[in-house]
Amino acid sequence: MNKQGNQEYWNRLLLTELPIPKEEIKEWLKSYAAPYKELMAYYRCAMMEVETKFRVLNEELSLEYDRNPIETIKTRLKSVESIGDKLSGMNKPITVESIEENLKDVAGVRIICGLPSDIYTLADAFLSQDDIVLIQRKDYIANPKPNGYRSLHLIVEIPIFLHDEKKMMKVEVQLRTISMDWWASLEHKFRYKKDIEISEEIDRELKECAEAAAILDRKMESIQRKIPVNNEDAYE
């Protein structure tokens, strides 16, 4: 089957079977292995660029704050199965070009901070850099989701410099506190456990835990403000 015939097959499959079976996605990957691997490599490069920027900011701000505002940095690249499911759910063509055009969260970087104020300080510093293009900003800290989820989400474009060109790549950046990340991780495991339906009682308790975590964050922020910063030894 030639490339055009291959694409017509995937478009027919897209319209008839959702989500696309993993076996079919693997066959698609075989057909487009080289360009797919190339695109994923570009996304990995973009994640490295974002991670480096935040590590530099963490180093700089640690001198000013006498502590590191970033606790952990995590990166993730969507699996081919997840990409296929998302494109099929959007009723978009299953092509490498479609991945780049329609998906904003193939590459993800998660920044885990100590305090809520660290999130906004880091986000503002990151977005002020002249090679970062902000595409979308969703503040789920100021406006939590109905289930209690809190995080700051940024979709950005960042340049990667290849041997013969500069290419702009999209990356999703999530910034959360330790408590926000702890809650989100456990909530996801509980809510999406196979063959288990979350009752209204559990749903309510999870939301109460999210609020308790937010109260803890605010309390720790208040305590931090009472502690004087000692950066006299920073340059010794």
Q: pLDDT for 122-147, tens place per residue?
A: 999 999 999 999 999 999 999 999 99
Indicate the number of domains in the chain: 1
Q: Is residue 145 in some structural domain?
A: yes
235 or 162, which is more confident:
162
158 is a domain residue: yes
- Domain holding 101, by residue range, is 3-178
Is residue 154 in some structural domain? yes
As given in the structure block, the two tokens for residue 195 are: 């063959």
pLDDT class for 11, splitting at 50, 70, 90? low
Burial class (CB in 10 A: 0-12, 13-18, 19+), 59: exposed
User: Roughly what angle, to the nearest 10 degrees, separates helices 33-65 and 116-127?
Assistant: 120
Cβ-contact 97, 41 below 8 angstroms: no
Q: What token pair was written down for 162? A: 């290849």
Domain presence at residue 79: yes
| Whole-number pLDDT of residue 14 | 46
Is 209 a member of any domain?
Answer: no
Residues 6+ apart with CB under 8 A from 107: 43, 44, 46, 47, 75, 77, 78, 169, 170, 171, 172
Domain containing 34 — which CATH number? Answer: 3.30.460.10
175-234 per-position pLDDT tens digit: 999 999 999 999 888 877 655 677 888 889 999 999 999 999 999 999 998 888 765 544
48 in any annotated domain: yes
Whole-angstrom Cα distance, residue 188 to residue 163?
A: 40
